[in-house]
Structure 1
Amino acid sequence: MRNEKQETREKTNSILLSYYNNGKEFVFDSFLVYFYIKQYIMSRQSISFTKPNDEWLKAQVDSKEYSSKSELVNDLIRQARKQQVQIDWIKAKLEKAEHSGFTNDSKESILAQSKSFLNGPI
Protein backbone atom coordinates (compact mmCIF):
# COMPACT_ATOMS: atom_id res chain seq x y z
CA MET A 1 0.00 0.00 0.00
CA ARG A 2 1.35 3.39 -0.96
CA ASN A 3 1.29 6.43 1.21
CA GLU A 4 0.02 9.84 0.08
CA LYS A 5 3.51 11.36 -0.43
CA GLN A 6 4.54 8.54 -2.78
CA GLU A 7 1.40 8.99 -4.89
CA THR A 8 1.92 12.75 -5.16
CA ARG A 9 5.56 12.28 -6.11
CA GLU A 10 4.57 9.83 -8.86
CA LYS A 11 1.88 12.16 -10.22
CA THR A 12 4.31 15.08 -10.55
CA ASN A 13 7.20 12.96 -11.90
CA SER A 14 9.46 14.55 -9.34
CA ILE A 15 12.49 13.11 -7.62
CA LEU A 16 14.05 13.69 -4.25
CA LEU A 17 17.07 15.99 -4.19
CA SER A 18 19.49 15.80 -1.31
CA TYR A 19 22.66 17.58 -0.29
CA TYR A 20 24.90 17.61 2.72
CA ASN A 21 25.86 20.69 4.70
CA ASN A 22 27.98 20.44 7.85
CA GLY A 23 27.32 16.71 8.03
CA LYS A 24 23.52 17.09 7.90
CA GLU A 25 21.46 15.75 5.02
CA PHE A 26 18.78 18.00 3.52
CA VAL A 27 16.18 16.39 1.27
CA PHE A 28 13.87 18.27 -1.08
CA ASP A 29 11.24 17.19 -3.54
CA SER A 30 12.37 18.41 -6.99
CA PHE A 31 8.85 19.46 -7.98
CA LEU A 32 8.52 21.62 -4.87
CA VAL A 33 11.93 23.22 -5.51
CA TYR A 34 10.94 23.93 -9.13
CA PHE A 35 7.57 25.34 -8.02
CA TYR A 36 9.21 27.57 -5.39
CA ILE A 37 11.74 28.95 -7.88
CA LYS A 38 9.08 29.64 -10.52
CA GLN A 39 6.67 31.14 -8.00
CA TYR A 40 8.91 33.23 -5.78
CA ILE A 41 12.28 33.80 -7.43
CA MET A 42 11.77 34.12 -11.19
CA SER A 43 9.33 36.69 -12.51
CA ARG A 44 7.58 35.98 -15.77
CA GLN A 45 7.79 38.62 -18.50
CA SER A 46 6.43 38.93 -22.01
CA ILE A 47 8.73 40.57 -24.55
CA SER A 48 8.72 40.94 -28.32
CA PHE A 49 11.70 40.53 -30.66
CA THR A 50 12.34 41.73 -34.18
CA LYS A 51 12.42 38.94 -36.74
CA PRO A 52 16.25 38.92 -37.11
CA ASN A 53 16.72 38.85 -33.32
CA ASP A 54 14.15 36.09 -32.90
CA GLU A 55 15.84 34.02 -35.61
CA TRP A 56 19.23 34.52 -33.92
CA LEU A 57 17.79 33.45 -30.56
CA LYS A 58 16.25 30.34 -32.15
CA ALA A 59 19.55 29.48 -33.82
CA GLN A 60 21.38 29.68 -30.47
CA VAL A 61 18.83 27.37 -28.85
CA ASP A 62 18.83 25.00 -31.85
CA SER A 63 22.63 24.75 -31.68
CA LYS A 64 22.22 23.50 -28.08
CA GLU A 65 24.29 26.44 -26.80
CA TYR A 66 21.31 27.28 -24.57
CA SER A 67 18.33 25.20 -23.56
CA SER A 68 15.79 28.01 -24.01
CA LYS A 69 15.39 31.59 -25.17
CA SER A 70 14.79 32.56 -21.56
CA GLU A 71 18.15 31.14 -20.48
CA LEU A 72 19.86 32.99 -23.33
CA VAL A 73 18.18 36.32 -22.57
CA ASN A 74 19.08 36.00 -18.88
CA ASP A 75 22.72 35.29 -19.82
CA LEU A 76 22.82 38.32 -22.12
CA ILE A 77 21.41 40.51 -19.34
CA ARG A 78 24.02 39.19 -16.88
CA GLN A 79 26.77 39.99 -19.39
CA ALA A 80 25.38 43.51 -19.97
CA ARG A 81 25.19 44.15 -16.23
CA LYS A 82 28.78 42.99 -15.77
CA GLN A 83 29.89 45.20 -18.65
CA GLN A 84 28.03 48.17 -17.14
CA VAL A 85 29.98 47.74 -13.89
CA GLN A 86 33.21 47.96 -15.89
CA ILE A 87 31.98 51.01 -17.80
CA ASP A 88 30.99 52.73 -14.54
CA TRP A 89 34.47 52.02 -13.12
CA ILE A 90 36.15 53.54 -16.19
CA LYS A 91 33.85 56.60 -16.05
CA ALA A 92 34.70 57.12 -12.40
CA LYS A 93 38.44 56.95 -13.20
CA LEU A 94 38.03 59.42 -16.07
CA GLU A 95 36.04 61.84 -13.91
CA LYS A 96 38.69 61.64 -11.20
CA ALA A 97 41.40 62.34 -13.78
CA GLU A 98 39.46 65.30 -15.21
CA HIS A 99 39.11 66.86 -11.76
CA SER A 100 42.75 66.36 -10.86
CA GLY A 101 43.87 69.27 -13.01
CA PHE A 102 46.23 69.86 -15.92
CA THR A 103 49.88 69.03 -16.37
CA ASN A 104 52.79 70.82 -17.97
CA ASP A 105 54.50 67.51 -18.87
CA SER A 106 55.22 66.80 -22.54
CA LYS A 107 53.48 64.00 -24.47
CA GLU A 108 56.73 62.04 -24.43
CA SER A 109 57.04 62.37 -20.66
CA ILE A 110 53.43 61.26 -20.10
CA LEU A 111 53.95 58.29 -22.45
CA ALA A 112 57.13 57.28 -20.63
CA GLN A 113 55.36 57.47 -17.26
CA SER A 114 52.47 55.35 -18.57
CA LYS A 115 54.84 52.72 -19.95
CA SER A 116 56.74 52.60 -16.68
CA PHE A 117 53.51 51.92 -14.79
CA LEU A 118 52.65 49.09 -17.18
CA ASN A 119 56.07 47.52 -17.73
CA GLY A 120 58.14 48.66 -14.79
CA PRO A 121 60.97 51.19 -15.11
CA ILE A 122 62.19 51.91 -18.64
Structure 2
Amino acid sequence: MARQSITLANQNDEWLKEQVAKEEFTSKSEAVNYLIKQAREQDAYVEFVRMKIEMGEKSGLAKKQTKEEMLAEFKKRLNV
Protein backbone atom coordinates (compact mmCIF):
# COMPACT_ATOMS: atom_id res chain seq x y z
CA MET A 1 0.00 0.00 0.00
CA ALA A 2 1.29 3.44 -0.86
CA ARG A 3 2.00 5.81 2.01
CA GLN A 4 0.81 9.38 1.63
CA SER A 5 1.01 12.51 3.66
CA ILE A 6 -2.10 14.66 3.53
CA THR A 7 -3.27 17.79 5.29
CA LEU A 8 -6.81 17.75 6.66
CA ALA A 9 -9.05 20.59 7.67
CA ASN A 10 -9.46 20.63 11.46
CA GLN A 11 -13.13 19.59 11.21
CA ASN A 12 -12.25 16.58 9.06
CA ASP A 13 -9.41 15.54 11.34
CA GLU A 14 -11.69 15.76 14.38
CA TRP A 15 -14.36 13.70 12.60
CA LEU A 16 -11.80 11.02 11.73
CA LYS A 17 -10.53 10.93 15.33
CA GLU A 18 -14.13 10.54 16.56
CA GLN A 19 -14.72 7.62 14.19
CA VAL A 20 -11.62 5.85 15.47
CA ALA A 21 -12.57 6.62 19.10
CA LYS A 22 -16.05 5.15 18.51
CA GLU A 23 -14.31 2.13 16.96
CA GLU A 24 -16.06 2.61 13.62
CA PHE A 25 -12.58 2.24 12.11
CA THR A 26 -9.30 1.02 13.54
CA SER A 27 -7.35 4.00 12.20
CA LYS A 28 -7.75 7.25 10.34
CA SER A 29 -6.13 5.59 7.32
CA GLU A 30 -8.79 2.88 7.29
CA ALA A 31 -11.51 5.54 7.43
CA VAL A 32 -9.98 7.55 4.58
CA ASN A 33 -9.59 4.42 2.44
CA TYR A 34 -13.21 3.49 3.12
CA LEU A 35 -14.44 6.96 2.15
CA ILE A 36 -12.40 6.93 -1.06
CA LYS A 37 -13.78 3.48 -1.92
CA GLN A 38 -17.32 4.76 -1.35
CA ALA A 39 -16.68 7.78 -3.60
CA ARG A 40 -15.27 5.53 -6.35
CA GLU A 41 -18.31 3.23 -6.15
CA GLN A 42 -20.62 6.24 -6.32
CA ASP A 43 -18.76 7.55 -9.38
CA ALA A 44 -19.14 4.16 -11.07
CA TYR A 45 -22.87 4.10 -10.28
CA VAL A 46 -23.37 7.65 -11.59
CA GLU A 47 -21.56 6.70 -14.80
CA PHE A 48 -23.76 3.60 -15.15
CA VAL A 49 -26.93 5.70 -14.73
CA ARG A 50 -25.67 8.27 -17.24
CA MET A 51 -25.02 5.49 -19.76
CA LYS A 52 -28.54 4.09 -19.26
CA ILE A 53 -30.09 7.55 -19.66
CA GLU A 54 -28.09 8.14 -22.84
CA MET A 55 -29.18 4.76 -24.23
CA GLY A 56 -32.80 5.61 -23.44
CA GLU A 57 -32.55 9.00 -25.10
CA LYS A 58 -31.01 7.50 -28.22
CA SER A 59 -33.70 4.82 -28.47
CA GLY A 60 -36.35 7.39 -29.34
CA LEU A 61 -39.83 7.99 -28.04
CA ALA A 62 -41.87 5.12 -26.68
CA LYS A 63 -45.23 4.33 -28.19
CA LYS A 64 -48.31 5.37 -26.22
CA GLN A 65 -49.65 2.46 -24.19
CA THR A 66 -52.09 1.94 -21.39
CA LYS A 67 -50.90 0.33 -18.16
CA GLU A 68 -52.61 -2.89 -19.20
CA GLU A 69 -50.90 -2.90 -22.61
CA MET A 70 -47.50 -2.31 -20.98
CA LEU A 71 -48.08 -5.11 -18.48
CA ALA A 72 -49.12 -7.49 -21.28
CA GLU A 73 -45.98 -6.57 -23.26
CA PHE A 74 -43.70 -7.12 -20.25
CA LYS A 75 -45.33 -10.48 -19.53
CA LYS A 76 -44.91 -11.47 -23.16
CA ARG A 77 -41.20 -10.58 -23.05
CA LEU A 78 -40.78 -12.61 -19.87
CA ASN A 79 -42.81 -15.53 -21.24
CA VAL A 80 -45.22 -15.30 -18.29
Give the structure-2-normalised TM-score.
0.74
Counterpart Cα distance in 2 of 1:90 and 1:105: 24
Over 4 Å off, 4+ runs: none
Counterpart amino acid of residue 93 in structure 1: K
The code of the aligned residue for 2:62 comes to T
Greater relative contact order (Cα 8 A, min sep 6): structure 1 or 2? 2
Matches within 5 A, 1:1-122: 42-105=1-64, 109=66, 112=67, 113=70
Distance 2:40 2:30 in 1: 15
Structure with more strand by fraction: 1
Q: Provide the identity percentage.
A: 45
- Give the letter aligned to residue 90 of structure 1: V
Q: Aligned-pair RMSD on alpha carbons?
A: 2.3
Q: Specify the structure having the higher radius of gyration (Cα).
A: 1
- Give, in whole Å, the separation in 1 of the partners of 2:22 and 2:62: 54
Q: Comparing both structures, which one devotes a greater share of its residues to helix?
A: 2
How many correspondences in the alignment?
Answer: 72
- Residue 104 of structure 1 and its aligned partner are, at CA, apart by 4.8
